[in-house]
Amino acid sequence: MSQQYETLRVTHSGVVARVALNRPDIRNAFNDTMITELRDVFARLNQEPDLRVVVLTGEGNSFCAGADINWMRKMLAYSYEENLGDSLALAHMMREVYEFPRPVIGRINGAAIGGGTGLVAVCDIAVAVETAVFSFSEVKIGLVPACIAPYVIKKVGERHAREFFLTGERLRAAKARDCGLVNVVVPPEELDDEVGRYVDTLVSSGPCALSMCKRLIRDVTQMSLEQAGPHTADVIARLRVSDEGQEGMSAFLQRRRPDWWLDTEESWTDESSGTFHDD
């Protein structure tokens, strides 16, 4: 990937891509440019056949502080149609990250506020530092967490969403973990090791199986039991006769590693040694 971005930093380490929100001077607040660039980078990553995992994070001490104040100031003069266009772009971006066919790990290195919590929610797995805080603060300025609501409610459920959306309270990392918004909370010095542990686990699994897992979760949750039975039977039957399924079952029976298994002995975060490179 040779594309350069104004608001993002994209690096690669083998089969792992790292997408970092890169506006640390304003705590990685997003604007229309970042939304466009996130849509572009995930579309480009989707065209990389060897890609196995994406790590989404923020540069500096924050993950994402929500909407950029200067962008919000411009919105004051927007018409309904202009606001609708902006909002649809945000909604599309959230859905495209959520439905990305490879696993997306959120490396939550600091505060995630407003729309930033939406980016946490669309990740498949989120690892947060214990100092991170989270907030759905939109009601404090007369708005609502609209475009991120479908993904947050999927993660935390209606009971927690009612509390968090209505109060706009700041959540400590432990509470975000307990309600399901994030999976794991660690001290800052352990963040990369924990993310690396998930990366190692994911690259030892079948790439097609992981992609199908994401589709299965999305599809089955919208089906009745009558619909789910035939659908899931078809899914597993197709995977069993696929090249990946045949290799995986053969490797298991022969007590060997399948051919997709990767050893990630080098740290995926060691940029000083050149493990990551800008493309």
Same domain, yes or no, for 44 and 115?
yes
Q: Catalytic: which of 138, 189, 226, 244?
A: 138
Domain assignment present for residue 225? The answer is: yes
Say what percent of the chain tops pLDDT 90. 89
Show the DSSP H helices in the chain as ranges: 32-45, 69-75, 80-98, 115-121, 149-167, 173-178, 191-203, 207-220, 225-241, 243-253
Residue 263: band (very low, low, confident or very high) from pLDDT cuts 50, 70, 90: low
Distances (CA, A) of 210 to 122, 204, 215: 16, 10, 9
Q: CATH code at 212?
A: 1.10.12.10
Residue 238: band (very low, low, confident or very high) from pLDDT cuts 50, 70, 90: very high
Same domain, yes or no, for 196 and 210?
no
Among residues 201, 227, 247, the one where a domain terminates is 201
- Rounded Cα–Cα distance for residues 23 and 63 (Å): 10
Find the mean pLDDT for residues 72-90: 94
Same domain, yes or no, for 150 and 189?
yes
Q: CATH code at 36?
A: 3.90.226.10
Contacts (Cβ under 8 Å, ≥6 apart) of 27: 58, 60, 61, 62, 64, 65, 110, 111
Domain count, the chain: 2
To the query of whether residue 244 is one of the catalytic residues in this protein, the response is: no
What is the arrangement of strands in the sheet containing 170-172, beginning at the earlier edge strand? 62-64, 111-113, 133-135, 170-172
Same domain, yes or no, for 67 and 174?
yes
Domain assignment present for residue 90? The answer is: yes
Same domain, yes or no, for 141 and 39?
yes
What would the pLDDT profile of 157-212 be if each residue is shown by its tens digit? 999 999 999 999 999 999 999 999 999 999 999 999 999 999 999 999 999 999 99
Domain assignment present for residue 279? The answer is: no
What would the pLDDT profile of 135-159 be if each residue is shown by its tens digit? 999 999 999 999 999 999 999 999 9
Same domain, yes or no, for 96 and 111?
yes
Same domain, yes or no, for 101 and 142?
yes
Residue 246: band (very low, low, confident or very high) from pLDDT cuts 50, 70, 90: very high
Among residues 178, 201, 224, the one where a domain terminates is 201
Among the ranges given (66-70, 110-114, 155-159, 198-202), the one the predictor scored with the smallest mean pLDDT: 66-70
> What SS3 state is found at 187?
coil
DSSP class of residue 277 equals: B
- Rounded Cα–Cα distance for residues 136 and 161 (Å): 9
CB atoms within 10 A of CB 80: 7
Same domain, yes or no, for 155 and 119?
yes
Token readout for 208 is 């097609």
State the amino acid at position 183 in one-letter form. N
Token pair 């909002």 is found at 87
CB atoms within 10 A of CB 253: 8
Domain assignment present for residue 274? The answer is: no
Token readout for 19 is 């997408």
Q: What is the pLDDT of residue 150?
A: 97
Q: What is the pLDDT of residue 262?
A: 78
> What SS3 state is found at 124?
coil
Domain assignment present for residue 271? The answer is: no
Q: What is the pLDDT of residue 267?
A: 42
Q: What is the pLDDT of residue 247?
A: 95
Q: What is the pLDDT of residue 279?
A: 37
Same domain, yes or no, for 222 and 118?
no
Q: What is the pLDDT of residue 25?
A: 97
Same domain, yes or no, for 217 and 190?
no
- Rounded Cα–Cα distance for residues 47 and 52 (Å): 12
Q: What is the pLDDT of residue 3?
A: 77
Q: What is the pLDDT of residue 1?
A: 60
Domain assignment present for residue 1? The answer is: no
- Rounded Cα–Cα distance for residues 264 and 169 (Å): 40
- Expressed as residue numbers, the domain containing 245 is 206-261
Token readout for 62 is 């924050």
More confident residue, 109 or 3: 109
Same domain, yes or no, for 109 and 233?
no
Q: What is the pLDDT of residue 265?
A: 47
Answer whether 55's CB lies under 8 Å from 16's CB: yes
